[in-house]
């Protein structure tokens, strides 16, 4: 396929490296989002450079994913893992490295698409100093996150200020759900331009397939009532609530109930603390024979895990969007999710799954019990979920909307800075 060159975009994701394995502490939905958006837009003729921070000396500085789509790692601070709450102080170095990269290559990116508040700070500086349109995805909002966390980090005030400034002064905020728009308007600012473009999933990869053969491949008993969790180990993900729900007599009254937990890094990082904590709870509840920790699984193999499961549970305390439920739904698996954030948008209660209040293991246990007891309902919900993803959440559809947004933004830029050329 030959495409015209549509323009150059810098996708900035300081802490979410799009070229690493997904599913570990610092590699979740944002990494997947940036990578997929980059690839899809390159397919449509955009030149996409995805800038991130180098976090290990072994990482190559440039990774070419496909023609027109690269990850470029800039040096900002030590080439080592740094928790996102400690990254702010390294942003000036990242900005200098980005500017240097532009100077070395004699380019200015006319369109900068930033991800998460750390990258927003970079985008805001660039917008002040060069001819650039700025679009931004929050991925997570401090104002919402801090409401549901027990501890507030020192950086909270800075984050809230930057998020507000970004909403008010960037050219477009991309919200991923109507719930996010509501949060921005009620908790951050009533000013600024917001457009809703959801996250997506690869509907070629995540497809509805036969449960029996998926179980054969994964050596899972056909008699099992399999409940699946996929995601990072992070207290905000609510894995403890799920484990306690599985231990509940309403669920334990069924035979062969198993919980599979997929995700987690192999290193000694912070997410291991949460993993150790969950393992201890599993042991305390006497569930060792019922719970499997499968570790990090790549997208290549994840569809079999979704297809093999009867229910996928997303028990988050807070979830800005949540890729896992749409992946599960794409595979025809019904989802039980917390009634929070973007989950209220992706999962239709009673239609593609069930919504339950967060952190209430009794209520979650009732929902699991209900779906285990009703195979026909599971099947109907699975089919409805699959259809919903095809209609609203395919990467192709999402990328088409972004393509349009980028084009509009570039047109604005040319009209603003080169009015004489755009008059014709």
Mapped onto helix, strand or coil, the DSSP state of residue 15 is: coil
In degrees and rounded to multiples of 5, residue 67 shows phi and psi of -55, 130
> Whole-angstrom Cα distance, residue 84 to residue 59?
19
- In the complex, what is the shortest distance from the CB of residue 319 to ligand UDP, in angstroms, rounded to a whole number? 7
- In the complex, what is the shortest distance from the CB of residue 286 to ligand UDP, in angstroms, rounded to a whole number? 26
Nearer to ligand UDP, 169 or 207 (CB): 207
Nearer to ligand UDP, 98 or 395 (CB): 395
Q: Which helix (H) or strand (E) holds 183?
A: helix 178-183
Q: Give me 105's structure tokens.
A: 């290559």
> Whole-angstrom Cα distance, residue 334 to residue 346?
12
Q: Give me 76's structure tokens.
A: 């900002």
Is residue 232 at the binding interface for ligand UDP, with CB under 6 A as the rule?
Answer: yes
Binders in 289-318 for ligand UDP, by CB under 6 A: 296-297, 299, 302
Q: Is 88 exposed, middle or buried (0-12, 13-18, 19+ CB in 10 A)?
A: middle
Among 163, 171, 274, 327, binds ligand UDP (CB under 6 A): 327
Residue nearest to ligand UDP (CB): 28
- In the complex, what is the shortest distance from the CB of residue 143 to ligand UDP, in angstroms, rounded to a whole number? 17
- In the complex, what is the shortest distance from the CB of residue 215 to ligand UDP, in angstroms, rounded to a whole number? 19
Is residue 263 at the binding interface for ligand UDP, with CB under 6 A as the rule?
Answer: yes
Is residue 323 at the binding interface for ligand UDP, with CB under 6 A as the rule?
Answer: yes
Is residue 39 at the binding interface for ligand UDP, with CB under 6 A as the rule?
Answer: no
| Beta strand 194-196 pairing with 62-66 | unpaired
Q: How many CB atoms lie within 10 A of CB 57?
A: 8
Among 11, 20, 32, 124, binds ligand UDP (CB under 6 A): 32
Residues whose CB is less than 8 angstroms from the CB of residue 189 and which lie 6 or more positions away in sequence, other chains included: 164, 167, 168
Nearer to ligand UDP, 198 or 231 (CB): 231
Is residue 231 at the binding interface for ligand UDP, with CB under 6 A as the rule?
Answer: yes
Site string for ligand UDP, 175-214 (x = CB under 6 A): ----------------------------------------
Nearer to ligand UDP, 27 or 162 (CB): 27
| Beta strand 69-74 pairing with 62-66 | antiparallel
Nearer to ligand UDP, 75 or 359 (CB): 359
Q: How many CB atoms lie within 10 A of CB 203?
A: 20
Contact of 28 with 47, CB cutoff 8 Å: no
Is residue 110 at the binding interface for ligand UDP, with CB under 6 A as the rule?
Answer: no
Among 7, 18, 28, 110, binds ligand UDP (CB under 6 A): 28
> Whole-angstrom Cα distance, residue 133 to residue 18?
22
CA dihedral 84, 89, 91, 94 (to 10 degrees): -100
Nearer to ligand UDP, 231 or 382 (CB): 231
Residues contributing to the site for ligand UDP (CB under 6 A) = 22-23, 28-30, 32, 230-232, 262-263, 296-297, 299, 302, 321-324, 327
């Amino acid at each position: 396929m030959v495409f015209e060159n549509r323009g150059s975009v810098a996708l900035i994701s300081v802490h979410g490296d799009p070229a690493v394995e997904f599913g570990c502490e610092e590699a979740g939905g944002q990494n997947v989002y940036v990578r997929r958006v980059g690839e899809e837009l390159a397919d449509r003729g955009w030149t996409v450079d995805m800038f991130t921070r180098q976090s290990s000396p072994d990482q190559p500085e440039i990774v070419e994913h496909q023609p027109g789509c690269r990850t470029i790692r800039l040096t900002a601070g030590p080439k080592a893992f740094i928790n996102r709450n400690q990254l702010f102080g390294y942003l000036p170095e990242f900005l200098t490295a980005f500017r240097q990269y532009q100077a070395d290559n004699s380019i200015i990116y006319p369109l900068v698409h930033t991800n998460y508040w750390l990258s927003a700070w970079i985008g805001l500086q660039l917008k002040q100093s060069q001819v650039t349109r700025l679009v931004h995805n929050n991925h997570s909002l401090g104002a919402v996150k801090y409401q549901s966390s027990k501890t507030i980090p020192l950086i909270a005030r800075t984050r809230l200020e930057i998020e507000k400034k970004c909403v008010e002064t960037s050219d477009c905020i991309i919200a991923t759900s109507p719930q996010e728009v509501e949060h921005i308007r009620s908790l951050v600012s009533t000013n600024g331009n917001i457009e809703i473009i959801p996250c997506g999933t690869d509907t070629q990869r995540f497809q509805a397939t036969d449960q029996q053969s998926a179980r054969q491949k994964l050596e899972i008993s056909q008699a099992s009532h399999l409940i699946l969790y996929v995601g990072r180990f992070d207290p905000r993900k609510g894995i403890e609530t799920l484990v306690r729900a599985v231990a509940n007599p309403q669920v334990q009254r069924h035979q062969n109930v198993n919980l599979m937990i997929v995700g987690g890094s192999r290193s000694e990082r912070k997410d291991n603390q949460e993993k150790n904590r969950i393992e201890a709870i599993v042991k305390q509840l006497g569930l060792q024979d019922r719970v499997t920790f499968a570790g990090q699984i790549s997208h290549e193999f994840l569809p079999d895990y979704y297809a093999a499961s009867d229910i996928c549970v997303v028990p988050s305390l807070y979830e800005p969007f949540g890729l896992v439920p749409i992946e599960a739904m794409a595979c025809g698996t019904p989802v039980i999710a917390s009634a929070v954030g973007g989950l209220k948008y992706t999962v239709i209660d009673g239609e593609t799954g069930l919504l339950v209040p967060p952190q209430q293991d009794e209520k979650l246990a009732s929902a699991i019990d209900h779906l285990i007891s009703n195979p026909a309902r599971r099947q109907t919900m699975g089919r409805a979920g699959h259809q919903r993803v095809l209609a609203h959440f395919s990467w192709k559809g999402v990328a088409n909307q972004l393509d349009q947004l980028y084009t509009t933004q570039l047109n604005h830029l040319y009209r603003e800075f080169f009015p004489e050329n755009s008059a014709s």
